[in-house]
Structure 1
């Protein structure tokens, strides 16, 4: 039986995933600041737009206008009518689509879940990006409450049948890694005195995958993953 796949928008990463992501599931992209998590997430979002899908992108850290400027330099058109951008950053003067204040939205995963579900009453989004979820975890007062809320979020997204991509800057993402269907890690190494970036798939339920750390570059057209190369570390 052939498993349906959807593209991440990055050809080399799709090869590592044996053809792409399995739709209707929740995935996590984690990595330190500057490793390209937002760029990867935008590749995923724009691949949906190019496929004629409606895409919902929630930015919690980078203001929407900055995101539009930075991503346009990579050739991404964030003004496409199929692309809906929610600015939930603390510096936003207004909140696109969502009327909750930042403290309520980004600081409370239950309210974020409800807000996203409301958007599905207007449009049938097939892809959702939340970039990053880091602040949602850092602002949670109790770990047990966050765990319950995150589990509820996963179940809600799966009921909506959307493919969801979360990003995180936290190295330790225990509950998130346990509950999501797949984890992609972006890392930066100092190899021979030069910066080398590597991508590794840690987990991918329902499919085999390439677990080797493969090199990637952030170019003027976005991320390029070299699925046929290996990183040589000293």
Structure 2
């Protein structure tokens, strides 16, 4: 049985994934601050928009205004009607701009799952970005409660038949890494006195993949991955 592949919006990364992500699953992008997680997530979102899909992007840390400015400079069209950006950061008066229930996105993972389900009553989103999931993990009082809630989130997203990209700044992500269908890791290295960046796929259920660490750059038009090059670590 053939599986449906969807583009990440980054051709070099699609090659590493042997054709792209498998649709209808949940994936994790992890990396330290400044590695380009939000930019990668926006490539994924805009690839859906370019394909005529409805896309939901929930930002839990970086204010939406900052994302609009930074991503517009890279050439992404965040004003496309197929793109919905929800600002669930704790520092903005989002209730002035949008309905009150959007505040529940940031309260905990259970409330966010319910809020997404409500969104699907208005639109059928084929792609969802949660950036970063780290913020929701920090709201959990007990690890066991978070694990149960995260598993419920995964099951709900699969029932909705949507492809989800989560970002995380935690080096060790624990239960998320275990339950998601794939993990993409972004890293920085100092080589020869220069900062180098490398992307590595550490997990991709249902498909073969390139497990080597490949170099990438964050350019004025987004992320470029070089799938034919390797990073030689000392």
Please indicate the TM-score interval, normalised by the length of the shorter structure: over 0.9
Is 1:213 the counterpart of 2:213? The answer is yes
Whole-angstrom distance in 2 between the partners of 1:149 and 1:93: 27
Q: Which residue in 2 is equivalent to 1:5?
A: 5
Tell me if structure 2 keeps the 8 A contact 1:98–1:115. no
Is 1:60 the counterpart of 2:60? The answer is yes
Is 1:100 the counterpart of 2:93? The answer is no
- 4+ residue runs over 4 A deviation: 95-98
Q: Which residue in 2 is equivalent to 1:89?
A: 89
Q: Aligned-pair distance for 1:217?
A: 0.1
Structure 1, unaligned runs of 5 or more: none
Q: How large is the Cα RMSD of the aligned pairs?
A: 1.1
Tell me if structure 1 keeps the 8 A contact 2:102–2:115. no
Whole-angstrom distance in 1 between the partners of 2:62 and 2:154: 23
Whole-angstrom distance in 1 between the partners of 2:50 and 2:8: 12
Is 1:175 the counterpart of 2:175? The answer is yes
Is 1:192 the counterpart of 2:192? The answer is yes
Whole-angstrom distance in 1 between the partners of 2:228 and 2:99: 43
Whole-angstrom distance in 1 between the partners of 2:50 and 2:105: 29
Q: Which residue in 2 is equivalent to 1:109?
A: 109
Q: SS state of the match for residue 58, structure 1?
A: strand
Structure 2, unaligned runs of 5 or more: none
Is 1:146 the counterpart of 2:146? The answer is yes
Q: Aligned-pair distance for 1:98?
A: 4.8
Whole-angstrom distance in 2 between the partners of 1:181 and 1:27: 6
Deviations for 1:63-100, whole angstroms, at most 9, x for unmatched residues?
11111000000000111000001000011112465523
